[in-house]
Amino acid sequence: MYKVVDLAYNYNALEPYIDERTMYFHYEKHYKGYLNKLNSILNSINYDYKDPLEVLVTKIDEFPIELRGDILFNAGGVLNHDLYFSELSPKKNTMPVDEIKKAIDSNFGSFENFKKKFIESASHVVGSGWTFLVLTPAKKLEIINTSNQETPYIYGLIPIMGIDLWEHAYYLLYQNRRNEYIDNFFNIIDFNVVNEIYKKALKEKTA
Ligand code: MN3
- Determine the distance separating the centroid of ligand 1 and the alpha carbon of 31, expressed in angstroms: 7
- Determine the distance separating the centroid of ligand 1 and the alpha carbon of 106, expressed in angstroms: 30
Protein residues with C-beta less than 5 angstroms from the ion ligand 1 = 30, 164, 166
- Determine the distance separating the centroid of ligand 1 and the alpha carbon of 17, expressed in angstroms: 16
Q: Identify the bridge partners of residue 158 per DSSP, sorted by sequence position.
A: 135
- Determine the distance separating the centroid of ligand 1 and the alpha carbon of 168, expressed in angstroms: 6
- Determine the distance separating the centroid of ligand 1 and the alpha carbon of 164, expressed in angstroms: 6
Q: Compute CA distances 85 → 49, 69, 101, 107, 194, whole Å.
A: 23, 24, 21, 25, 12
Give the per-residue pLDDT at 205: 64
Give the per-residue pLDDT at 204: 84
pLDDT in tens, 89-135: 999 999 999 999 999 999 999 999 999 999 999 999 999 999 999 99
pLDDT in tens, 150-205: 999 999 999 999 999 999 999 999 999 999 999 999 999 999 999 999 999 999 86
CA 21 to chain centre: 20
Give the per-residue pLDDT at 63: 98
